[in-house]
Amino acid sequence: MSKVTIIGGGGVRTPLVIYGLAQARLGISELVLFDIDQERAGTIARLGAEVLRSFNQPFQIRTSADLHEAANGARFVLNSVRAGGMSARARDERIAIDNGLAGQETTGPGGAAMALRTLPVTLAHARIIEQAAPEAWFINFTNPAGLITQALTQNTRLRVIGICDTPIELFHRIAEALGESYNEMAFDYAGLNHLGWVRHVYVRGVDVTERLLKDARLLRQLYPSDLFDPELIQALRLIPTEYLFFYYSQRRAYRNQLRAGATRGEELQRLNQELFSQLTGEESGEALKTYRRYLSRRNASYMKLEGQGGSALSTPQKEDDPFETATGYHRIALDVMRGLTSKEVREVVLNTPNNGAIEDLETDDIVEVPCDLDQDGPRPRRTGKLPDSVRGLVLSVKAYERTIIKAALSGSAAMARLALLEYPIVGEWEIAKDIVGKLTESDPQYLGYLR
Give tens-digit pLDDT for 97-111: 999 999 999 999 999
Counts of helices then strands in the chain (DSSP H, E): 20, 13
Q: Mean pLDDT across the stretch 364-387?
A: 98
Q: What is the pLDDT of residue 313?
A: 62
pLDDT exceeds cutoff 70 at 261: yes
Question: Tell me, what's the pLDDT at 408?
Answer: 94
Handedness of CA 78, 404, 236, 199 (dihedral sign): negative
Tell me the pLDDT band of 223, cut-offs 50, 70 and 90. very high
User: Which amino acid belongs to residue 357?
Assistant: A
The pTM is what? Answer: 0.95
Give the CA distances from residue 263 to residues 267, 307, 311, in Å, rounded to whole numbers and listed in that order. Answer: 6, 12, 9
Helix (H, G, I), strand (E, B), or coil: what is residue 132? helix
**Mean pLDDT of all residues in 81-109:** 95
Q: Is the pLDDT of residue 312 over 80?
A: no
pLDDT reading at 448 higher than 60: no
Say which DSSP state 184 is in: G
State the pLDDT confidence band at 399, using cuts at 50, 70 and 90: very high
For residues 316 and 231, what is the distance between their CA atoms, to the nearest angstrom? 29
Q: Across residues 361-378, what is the average pLDDT?
A: 98
What is the pLDDT at residue 105? 94
DSSP state, 66? -
Give the separation between CA 152 and CA 409, rounded to whole angstroms: 11
Q: What is the mean pLDDT of the chain?
A: 93
